[in-house]
Copies of this chain bind each other. A is one copy, B any other.
Amino acid sequence: MTTAKSETIAAQISKTLAARIIAGEIEAGAKLRQDHIAEEFGASHVPVREAFKRLESQGLVVSEPRRGVRVAGFSVDEVREVAEMRAALETLALRNAVPHLTRAILDQAEEANRAGDRALNVQAWEMANRAFHRILLAPCGMPRLLKAIDDLHTASARFLFSGWRAEWEAPTDRDHRAILDALRAGQTEIAATTLARHVQTIGQKKPK
């Protein structure tokens, strides 16, 4: 599978590293040495540095001047922080999206939800989950907000994968269905409060 031709090398490296960090292949706190990564990708150190900058802005790595970058850790507090930010921003997005929601969009979201129910592993479930949220929120037409939410989803996914790697079973997502039902009935407030509660429960599921 070849990556898009017109993407810069830095963007490709950034995406690959982000995927690895999210998947837990590189553990938190590990140093990322630019020369090694440059060699692995057959590139020079310049695009690697740019990829680092992008990962830093996503909160996946932290950079200390002259000391290199390392994979960001995440504490329980930070997981809660991300969950609360998601609750605040996703409800805002939903309220602005509601006037533009059509039946077709709601059907799309329901399909994504079903795909989540059918998921065999946590990665597939997360992909469907993210699709569900994105489909419902995208019609708000607020690009900056959507990008912020997307970065928070990425952070959430990291937590999800790190704690649940082994034991995981597909949860039939009751909340998603409740949100869809409320939206179909035109009950925006109920949908928004359900969404807020739903997002915050993710932060509460301790990985045991």
Binding site for B on A (CB under 8 A): 6-8, 11, 46, 49-50, 53-54, 57, 59, 65-66, 77-78, 81-82, 84-85, 88-89, 91-92, 96, 141-145, 148
Q: Separation in Å of the A208 CB from the closest CB of chain B?
A: 25
Q: Are B65 and A6 in contact (CB under 8 A)?
A: yes
CA distance A54 to B49 in the complex (A): 12
Quick one: given A6-B65, A8-B65, A46-B46, are A148 and B54 in contact (CB under 8 Å)?
Answer: no
Given contacts A49-B50, A59-B144, A65-B6, contact A84 B92 (CB under 8 A): yes
How many monomers of this chain does the complex have?
Answer: 2
Q: How many angstroms between the C-alpha atoms of A71 and B65 in the bound complex? A: 27
Contacts of A91 in B (CB 8 A): 88
Q: Which of B50, B77, B141, B143 contacts A50 (CB 8 A)?
A: B50
B residues in contact with A65, CB < 8 Å: 6-8, 11
CA distance A141 to B7 in the complex (A): 38
- Which residue on chain B has the smallest CB distance to residue A84? B92
A11 to B144 CA separation, bound complex (whole angstroms): 23
Residues of B within 8 A of A11 (CB): 65
CB distance from A107 to the nearest CB of B (A): 27
In the complex, A84 Cα to B50 Cα: how many Å? 31
Q: Which residues does chain B contribute within 8 Å of A46, judged by CB atoms?
A: 46, 49
